[in-house]
Amino acid sequence: MRRLEDIEERPRNIMPKKIRLPKGKKTKYAIVLGTRPEIIKMAPIIREFEEQGLNYIIVHSGQHYSPHMDSNIFKDLNFPKPDYNLKVGSNSRGKQIKHIMKDLENIFKDEKPDIVLVEGDTNTVLAGAYAASNTGIKVGHVEAGLRSHDRRMPEEINRILTDHISDYLFAPTSRSKENLLKEGIEENKIYITGNTIVDAILQNLEISNHDSHYAKSLIGRLNTRDYVFLTLHRQSNVDSKTQLKIILEEIVKIPKEYGLEIIFPMHPRTKKMISEYNLGRHVERGKGILATEAVGYLDCLQLESKAKLIMTDSGGLQEESCILGVPCITLRENTERPETLAVGSNALIGKEYHKLLDYVGKSLKKGNNWKNPYGDGKTAEKIVEIIQNDLDLIKCAE
């Protein structure tokens, strides 16, 4: 952990506020993040802070630490480096959370933010919420109320605990709010705001059209411009040799059956397990699969937007495919994004991997006339306005 003193002064475009605080009482915000999805979904909030000239710090746990999964995103999004990097790296869940909590409590005691914002369901999110609560700081949970109803998933435990710790719960949809109410969380803490992923896509898709040279080179290597975009990373899929083998054996049938090639950027964890289990023959180029290293965010966004079909076990890609108008097949038994199933953008395969080819055929025929359920792209603006007005009123009364 270290304070980065060489950060360039952030440009400030100070906008008039509804409440003008006396000097020395300005509300201070802390953003805690640790993985690529968190950075992407927090980016619109950071942009909103910048536009309004608000006082904030960014703390990065370092839970994702490879360049494509981490530091390159800050460059792609033209953001300053985090104020702190805890460099937690890879470790067991318990050790990660303990490490992050300890360092965050020290930072919070020094920086004294009025609120800590976390996003999603990672170990970093839970540790950030706990550390803030332990030091008497308010917690805001962005993307609150998501539930897979499968407590075997570490992410589900992280979501539930973080929601019950939080003072502000920013639910992306009415369904998310209903989940929170059923668990006894007070309604006055819950705000339906939409999802910042819509903001992020609207802000970054045009940038990716111009800057995603690697994505374009990958598409150029295919024999056809019609392809499936595939990602795999969840423990339940890649840490089991039997499960991973089943998935790969079914996926390699797709090119022959449908004439679609597969672009497969491999998460570092997935690449490692394919090697350890000696399953590399399933991702050979001659079988219609273009397996690559993990790609940067803008390249990933470009590859998603141009695909005929997305197959994934990622929660974020279920949302992104829905917003981009690309059919999705989720390689899991459950999903915390049931809205995508309701509108018809997503199909949940469950355990029916032997029917994957049928799922592909049905997904390719369904079209993309569904309505995006995640908001209008102004979620970050709504979240910042809610927090700012509430905390500024509190500070004025002090």
Question: 183-216 as b/e, with b when 16 or more CB fall inside 10 Å?
Answer: eebeeeebbbbbbbbbbbbebbbebbeebbebbe
User: How would residue 2 be classed by pLDDT, with cut points 50, 70 and 90?
Assistant: very low
3-state DSSP assignment of residue 98: helix
Q: What is the largest CA-CA distance in the chain?
A: 69
pLDDT in tens, 307-353: 999 999 999 999 999 999 999 999 999 999 999 999 999 999 998 99
Domain annotation for the chain: domains and CATH numbers: 2-195+376-397 (3.40.50.2000), 210-365 (3.40.50.2000)
Within 13 Å, how many C-alpha atoms sit on residue 118's CB side?
30
Residue 113 has pLDDT above 60, yes or no: yes
Tell me the pLDDT tens digit for each residue of 254-291.
999 999 999 999 998 899 999 999 999 988 888 899 99
Predicted confidence (pLDDT) per residue in 53-76, tens digit: 999 999 999 886 655 555 577 778
Name the residue among 244, 292, 242 with its Cα closest to residue 68: 292
**Beta-bridge partners for 347:** 329
Question: Average pLDDT of 122-133?
Answer: 97
**Cα distance between residue 162 and residue 169, in whole Å:** 9
Q: Which residues are catalytic?
A: 233
pTM over 0.75: yes
Distance CA 118, CA 30 (A): 9
Q: Residue 296's pLDDT is what?
A: 87
pLDDT computed for residue 64 by the predictor: 63
pLDDT digits (tens, 9 = 90+) for 356-390: 999 999 999 998 999 999 999 999 999 999 999 88
Rounded CA-CA distance 130/389 in Å is: 24
- How far from the centroid of its chain's Cα atoms is residue 346's Cα? 17
The encoded tokens of residue 331 equal 């390689």
- Give every CB contact of residue 293 below 8 A, 6+ residues apart in sequence: 68, 265, 266, 271
Taking the CB of residue 57, how many other CB atoms lie within 10 A of it? 18
CB 335, CB 341: distance < 8 Å: yes
**392, 396, 397, 398: CA torsion to nearest 10:** 100
